[in-house]
């Protein structure tokens, strides 16, 4: 992406800027590592720290020497495994519907009435329609504009495949979205969010549910192993792709442009790439350890904060680069800078001003209070503001050129 943006706007500086921003994707790597650690530690009944170290050493170790197996397994096989696992998880709570759907919702309501309402005013993430729908929709627009998603359409052989592609995509997407119901099954299984009196951490609830649900009987254990293997498979393929992508970006888009004159051979670049992977392993390992020891509701929030910030900054340069002609560098570059500033200001600066100095921002203030904040609020704000800035500068430039 950094290379594409640099070539599209004929700017090496912009390319390097986006390459540095892509380091925010390390938070996504942390998310996958923590998720794999949770699943494996629960399944094997082994300390999370031992599992964390093993995953980091093993995965980053073989990635250093070109051991990515993400090319061995096709997207179809990966998707097939995920579909099977999603179906198993969705049907795992069938007994909760034995007395009808109303009985299912009654069970949830008895645990917490907010579990059966559309919004939860006391939640830091689901307070109202704006936070749940509008912000997610805005962020979704930025997400689908990312090249690794857009290019999926290039796999189609002809226009005749478009309808089938859309039907399959929508059906599978709905199935994957429905997997969140597993969280409701888990809440019914652990009404007090504890196992044997020991409180469950947020990221440990689903792994604990899988172990509890698929532990009785040979068939259940086999199905449970399939679910665990499916989760590991999906996690590993994503992790490999991220390590490959981020390390390549560091090597090709940061080290080579800045220090290429000191690297005299291809072996030097390979060595630089391995050093990049080692650095990624250390940074991701430390952050993952902190997330396991000092969790803040969920590691998903950390990943969203980093990934959404990057997507916000990349949205306008991608959008303008695809749909607009004669775009001057100043418009997308300004939009990217504004997006980063707005995102982290909304997530960190404004809450600080509200907490420490009592600032008020009208209806927006409620999204800025508390220790847990929704990254979608910051990202949606960044996308809207940066889009306005980018369009304003672009059309001002066009007007001046015409005059």
Structural domain that includes position 77: 11-92+190-295
Burial zone of 339 (CB within 10 Å; 0-12 exposed, 13-18 middle, 19+ buried) = buried
Final residue before a domain boundary, out of 252, 276, 295: 295
Same domain as 338, residue 248: no
Same domain as 309, residue 395: yes
- On whether residue 26 sits in a domain, the answer given is yes
Residues in the chain: 403
Final residue before a domain boundary, out of 278, 295, 312: 295
Same domain as 223, residue 312: no
Same domain as 309, residue 280: no
Q: Which helix (H) or strand (E) holds 378?
A: helix 375-402
Same domain as 273, residue 226: yes
CA-based torsion, 197, 201, 205, 206: positive or negative: negative
Closest CA to 335 of 288, 382, 273: 382
Task: Please name the residue ranges forming H helices in 294-374.
Answer: 299-323, 330-344, 350-357
Same domain as 304, residue 233: no
Same domain as 289, residue 203: yes
The predicted structure's pLDDT at residue 66: 65
Is residue 231 classed as helix, strand or coil in its secondary structure? helix
Q: Which helix (H) or strand (E) holds 379?
A: helix 375-402
Q: Which helix (H) or strand (E) holds 138?
A: helix 135-144
- On whether residue 172 sits in a domain, the answer given is no
Instruction: Count the domains in the chain.
Output: 2
- On whether residue 42 sits in a domain, the answer given is yes
- On whether residue 168 sits in a domain, the answer given is no
Same domain as 291, residue 321: no
Which positions of the chain have pLDDT values less than 50?
A: 69-73
Final residue before a domain boundary, out of 295, 319, 347: 295
CA distance 377 to 139: 9
Same domain as 211, residue 76: yes
């Amino acid at each position: 992406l950094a290379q594409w943006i640099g070539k599209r706007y004929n700017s090496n500086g912009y390319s390097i800027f986006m390459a540095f921003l892509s380091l925010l994707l390390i938070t996504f790597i942390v998310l996958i590592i923590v998720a794999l650690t949770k699943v494996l530690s629960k399944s094997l009944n082994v300390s999370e720290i031992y599992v964390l170290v093993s995953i980091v050493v093993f995965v980053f170790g073989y990635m250093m020497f070109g051991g990515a197996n993400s090319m061995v397994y096709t997207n179809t096989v990966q998707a097939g495994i995920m579909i099977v696992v999603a179906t198993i998880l969705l049907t795992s709570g069938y007994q909760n519907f034995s007395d009808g759907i109303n009985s299912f919702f009654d069970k949830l309501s008895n645990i917490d009435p907010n579990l059966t309402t559309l919004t939860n005013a006391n939640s830091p993430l689901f307070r109202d329609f704006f936070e749940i729908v509008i912000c997610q929709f805005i962020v979704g627009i930025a997400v689908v504009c990312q090249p690794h998603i857009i290019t999926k359409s290039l796999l189609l052989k002809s226009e005749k495949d478009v309808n089938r592609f859309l039907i399959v995509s929508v059906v599978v997407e709905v199935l994957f979205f429905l997997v969140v119901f597993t969280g409701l099954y888990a809440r019914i299984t652990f009404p007090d969010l504890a196992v044997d009196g020991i409180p469950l951490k947020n990221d440990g609830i689903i792994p604990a549910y899988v172990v509890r649900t698929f532990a009785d009987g040979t068939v259940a254990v086999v199905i449970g192993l399939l679910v665990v293997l499916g989760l590991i498979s999906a996690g590993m393929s994503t992790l490999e792709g991220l390590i490959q992508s981020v390390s390549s970006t560091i090597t090709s888009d940061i080290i080579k442009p800045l220090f290429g004159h000191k690297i005299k051979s291809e072996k030097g670049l390979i060595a630089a790439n391995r050093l990049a992977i080692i650095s990624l392993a250390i940074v991701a390992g430390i952050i993952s350890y902190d997330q396991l020891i000092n969790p803040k509701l969920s590691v998903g929030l950390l990943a969203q904060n980093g990934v959404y910030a990057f997507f916000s900054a990349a949205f306008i340069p991608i959008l303008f680069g695809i749909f607009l002609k004669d775009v001057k560098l100043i418009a997308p570059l300004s939009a990217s800078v504004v997006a980063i500033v707005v995102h982290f200001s909304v997530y960190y600066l404004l809450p600080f001003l509200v907490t420490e100095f009592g600032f008020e921002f009208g209806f927006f203030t409620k999204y800025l209070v508390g220790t847990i904040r929704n990254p979608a609020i910051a990202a949606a704000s960044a996308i809207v503001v940066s889009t306005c800035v980018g369009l304003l500068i672009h059309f001002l430039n066009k007007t001046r050129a015409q005059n």
